[in-house]
Structure 1
């Protein structure tokens, strides 16, 4: 229904002084439902798909290069020829255009590739992208959903329009989870355009912004955009010349973005004050359900004065698993200050203290922590001044510790002028430490295998229980056909034995509640024992039982009596039966003594039919058990491969997740 508004003008005076009245005007507005008359779904370039061969892909790329007036790159042709489109229709691993120096025409030629093949990674690092070529690339990635990871590092000629298009691509490409922008200095004008897509609705998981001028106001803009982000898990901000004041913004990031799991700020100048700010943010995550799991503070000019704040955060934090403090002047004094937090923490798995000026006194303090730690897996103590006394303390701690599987120490011998045989002692201690670590690794493998065996036994018990339940679960088994009964209704063969049991049929009665209806063609009333086998198969979990049998008997003149059906209704939640009737008779007629006696007489007149019903129960039960046993064996044979896959999957997950965590300890020295 439309809305009509009448507009009446006031009386007006004309130039002669006469009063004139304007005519009424009507303005009509459509209803809200009719404002939008229709819509169209966005085009799906992969809706029909492209079924092409490798030769057709190469020819299409060459034709596109000819149309744009450029030469095809030999490196790209080699990669395209290695793609076998007949093997897999999923995303291919990578298409690398690194160091190829692409202009806008060469990027346009890549569309013939993107419309036929999707990739996991597109590498355009140092490819000379400018404003126009970057816009064309971002537009194609958005339209074709070409990759899950995009690397455009060290392309410094992208302008404001390019970053606006990049922001749109990030927002409208749900498959894109990782973007690498390291080595691209972002200005105060480009950073707002880029981070606009990182707010609500973003699907980005990993963001690389190393060496991108993310400091001061740019860092504040980034942190503000990430406050309402729920998808980002890894943020890498290394080599951005951060100062101690930037630690406040990072602390705000940790407080307001608890879903962030990894923060890498290596090779900055946060110093002790900035480190203390970050630890305050970690301290405030103690009560949340999620929080930061990995923190890299490598080479940030941190000294022992920041260790009390780190220790306080470790004492209460329940999420941090990896902490890298390497290449900071912590010293043995800082390790003593860190000791209390390490003893109280129960989640830290990896601790990096490479090149921290730690001597034997600090090694003794760490040995005390190892003796009490039930969960630490790796400790990195390379490039420190740990000699015989420190190695001896670590060896004694490892004799008690059962969790540490990797201890990184220098292999070279440290000189000790006060000892004559220091070289032999240090070598023997290093060998003993290696043997203890090997013992812990073997025990860890055995523990994992025991856990997998326990899971397998639990799954087998559950499978056995379900098989037993299916074996004892009653099922309805149709009776086998048999000779037709005689005219007098007596089902017997030549020797007088019953030859045909009463046929039971399952139907649904038209009543107010769901029923399982079992009928008999013979003129007798069926008891509950007649349909126990067929009840659960015919009725649902919330159904009732409706038992129907012909109640009419032939009179002496051969005329049929009243065609009333005796019924019994049995709700699943009640053990009592309600007796009623279905047909011409009233529902309450069967509750009278006369009707009850009539039913008993009819049942007594047909003993041989009761015997046939009993025979039917035995045959149905035996057939049901045979089918249940066969079905259980078939289920076990089908379920066995899936059990093997579920057993093997945890081993793959553990081995796949371990290298990513170890990189946070190992790769810090490479980037310094």
Structure 2
């Protein structure tokens, strides 16, 4: 029997074993290393879990180093002699990271089999799809043409035309620069209605999109969020939808994290659980394009931790926070004060119509007054209707004095009285940053108006003053204010109809004479 010079005749043995002469008759024997079953299984499992598999189906699959098995001991081989005539030539085959199976045909060829991790947690990384530029509208379309497209879409999808939508479409002046508003109120949003909305989004984008009191299903709300993400149809989004009932919070958060042109999000009259708030804020932190968030009349979970504020502490892209009618008390004001101390990126804070009171304002001011870097920090603070009284005079004075970047302060609809005006007299005279002051319905009289007029004479920054709702300011007080306007920069003073007994023309005549 002749042996070939190459190794082709040994390929069926998987590249292991050696042929040696057995006797003088030329008969050959195969020396094949085999293993103990226990050792073989241990070796196979060890190799399988010890090898990192990469780039399988374009996904990088690796195994956490903490779960790797320690290196195996050297394999012990024990040769035995097998005759070539025996039918079962191979009793065991060295297993690698890929399982090998022997085919059932007569050739006994070896077939490689690819295996994947048994549990999903072993998938630790993946490849994101290539970045796709957002949908852009390049061609300008006239309002009447947009309406025709909408009407044809309604006809094609067998749904009725909505008069309110047609009216809003007629007011579009430029369909490409996000200047118009679109409000969708009290609609039963079916798949057919979504088709008509999609035809609108293909040819027009908007400054703001408002969706309130509409009826959705789990399917239609998912389609809507997909459309908002793809068409980038608005810069501001206002919604009032029961996402909890529709099980759509994750879809909503996913949309927010992916959108490019969305800058402002407002939730109105919605219940936001702690876990949903975490998902919401996680999406906000991922998307640096979103600058403003608003929870208007929302039910928020504030205990044991105010999750919203915790996430904002490390967010440096959001610069507007609006929390009107949010049920904020002293403790929440304290947390917000600590946020303002550490985050100088927040420029607008609206906590109107809450219940922080004098003590809450004091806690808020502690953090706010530590913003002493010029050009950084809060510029607009709205404390409208917060049960603040004359006891907060010194606190308000400290805010005006120490907050060098504060441009607008609204403390209206609080029981401040003339006493607070006397407390803030000095700070009003010398502030160089404050441009707008809201004192509407703060129980001021002519006495307080006179003190305010004396401060205005010295002030060089104030431009707007709101005194609406102070019915006790009569002719005497208005005349002193009007005289003070001559030497000030104030261009706008707002008063009530009840103050017209001392005609507002007096203010105009003295201011511009």
Question: TM-score, normalising length from structure 2?
Answer: 0.69
Q: Deviations over 1:245-291 (max 9, x none)?
A: 11012212322332222111111111001111222222011225411
Query: 1:214 and 2:278 equivalent?
Result: no
Change in CA separation of 1:104 and 1:260 when aligned onto 2, cut-off 3 Å: farther
Distance 1:3 1:219 in 2: 41
Q: Name the structure 2 match of 1:378.
A: 464
- Residues 497-536 of structure 1: pairs in structure 2 closer than 5 A: none
Q: Name the structure 1 match of 2:317.
A: 231
Are the counterparts in 2 of residues 60 and 112 from structure 1 also a CA contact under 8 Å?
no
Q: Name the structure 1 match of 2:185.
A: 98
Are the counterparts in 2 of residues 148 and 175 from structure 1 also a CA contact under 8 Å?
yes
Query: 1:358 and 2:444 equivalent?
Result: yes
Distance 1:7 1:258 in 2: 53
Change in CA separation of 1:328 and 1:76 when aligned onto 2, cut-off 3 Å: closer
Quote how far apart the aligned CAs of 1:219 are: 7.7
What SS does the corresponding residue of 2:180 show, helix, strand or coil?
Answer: strand
Q: Name the structure 2 match of 1:542.
A: none
Q: 1:78 aligns with which of 140, 161, 166?
A: 166
Q: 1:314 aligns with which of 395, 400, 405?
A: 400
What SS does the corresponding residue of 2:448 show, helix, strand or coil?
Answer: helix
Q: Deviations over 1:531-588 (max 9, x none)?
A: xxxxxxxxxxxxxxxxxxxxxxxxxxxxxxxxxxxxxxxxxxxxxxxxxxxxxxxxxx
Compare CA radii of gyration and give the structure with the larger one: 1
Quote how far apart the aligned CAs of 1:90 are: 4.8
- Residues 593-608 of structure 1: pairs in structure 2 closer than 5 A: none
Q: Name the structure 2 match of 1:532.
A: none
Are the counterparts in 2 of residues 367 and 397 from structure 1 also a CA contact under 8 Å?
yes
What SS does the corresponding residue of 1:189 show, helix, strand or coil?
Answer: helix
- Residues 19-30 of structure 1: pairs in structure 2 closer than 5 A: none
Q: Deviations over 1:221-240 (max 9, x none)?
A: 11111122222232211111
Are the counterparts in 2 of residues 54 and 80 from structure 1 also a CA contact under 8 Å?
no
Query: 1:182 and 2:268 equivalent?
Result: yes
Distance 1:97 1:37 in 2: 38
Change in CA separation of 1:112 and 1:76 when aligned onto 2, cut-off 3 Å: farther
Distance 1:345 1:84 in 2: 43
Higher relative contact order (Cα pairs below 8 Å, separated by 6+ residues): 2
What SS does the corresponding residue of 1:97 show, helix, strand or coil?
Answer: strand
- Pairs aligned (count): 404
What SS does the corresponding residue of 2:321 show, helix, strand or coil?
Answer: strand
Q: Deviations over 1:49-105 (max 9, x none)?
A: 899965883376236634xxxx233337735974999x8655562333222232455
Q: Deviations over 1:650-670 (max 9, x none)?
A: xxxxxxxxxxxxxxxxxxxxx
Query: 1:204 and 2:265 equivalent?
Result: no
- Residues 317-396 of structure 1: pairs in structure 2 closer than 5 A: 317-384=403-470, 385-396=472-483
Distance 1:322 1:219 in 2: 30
Change in CA separation of 1:90 and 1:307 when aligned onto 2, cut-off 3 Å: closer
Distance 1:397 1:92 in 2: 40
Distance 2:166 2:459 in 1: 53
Q: Name the structure 2 match of 1:122.
A: 209
Q: Which moved more, 1:168-177 or 1:183-192?
A: 183-192
Q: Name the structure 1 match of 2:130.
A: 41
Are the counterparts in 2 of residues 248 and 274 from structure 1 also a CA contact under 8 Å?
yes
Q: Name the structure 1 match of 2:225.
A: 138
Query: 1:65 and 2:153 equivalent?
Result: no
Are the counterparts in 2 of residues 132 and 162 from structure 1 also a CA contact under 8 Å?
no
Are the counterparts in 1 of residues 330 and 360 from structure 2 also a CA contact under 8 Å?
yes
Quote how far apart the aligned CAs of 1:336 are: 1.2
- Residues 578-593 of structure 1: pairs in structure 2 closer than 5 A: none
Question: TM-score, normalising length from structure 1?
Answer: 0.53
Distance 2:146 2:495 in 1: 51
Distance 1:37 1:386 in 2: 68
Q: Deviations over 1:379-423 (max 9, x none)?
A: 222322223543343344334x23112223345469xxxxxxxx7
Distance 1:219 1:253 in 2: 13
Q: Name the structure 1 match of 2:63.
A: none
Change in CA separation of 1:272 and 1:103 when aligned onto 2, cut-off 3 Å: farther
Are the counterparts in 1 of residues 260 and 289 from structure 2 also a CA contact under 8 Å?
yes
Q: Name the structure 2 match of 1:241.
A: 327
Distance 1:356 1:3 in 2: 71
Are the counterparts in 2 of residues 7 and 25 from structure 1 also a CA contact under 8 Å?
no
What SS does the corresponding residue of 2:274 show, helix, strand or coil?
Answer: coil
Distance 1:222 1:39 in 2: 29
Query: 1:268 and 2:360 equivalent?
Result: no
Distance 1:259 1:253 in 2: 10
Change in CA separation of 1:169 and 1:38 when aligned onto 2, cut-off 3 Å: closer
Change in CA separation of 1:61 and 1:218 when aligned onto 2, cut-off 3 Å: farther
Q: Which runs of 5+ in 1 are unaligned?
A: 15-21, 29-35, 415-422, 440-672
Q: Name the structure 2 match of 1:433.
A: 507
Query: 1:192 and 2:284 equivalent?
Result: no
Distance 1:89 1:338 in 2: 48
Distance 2:126 2:331 in 1: 55
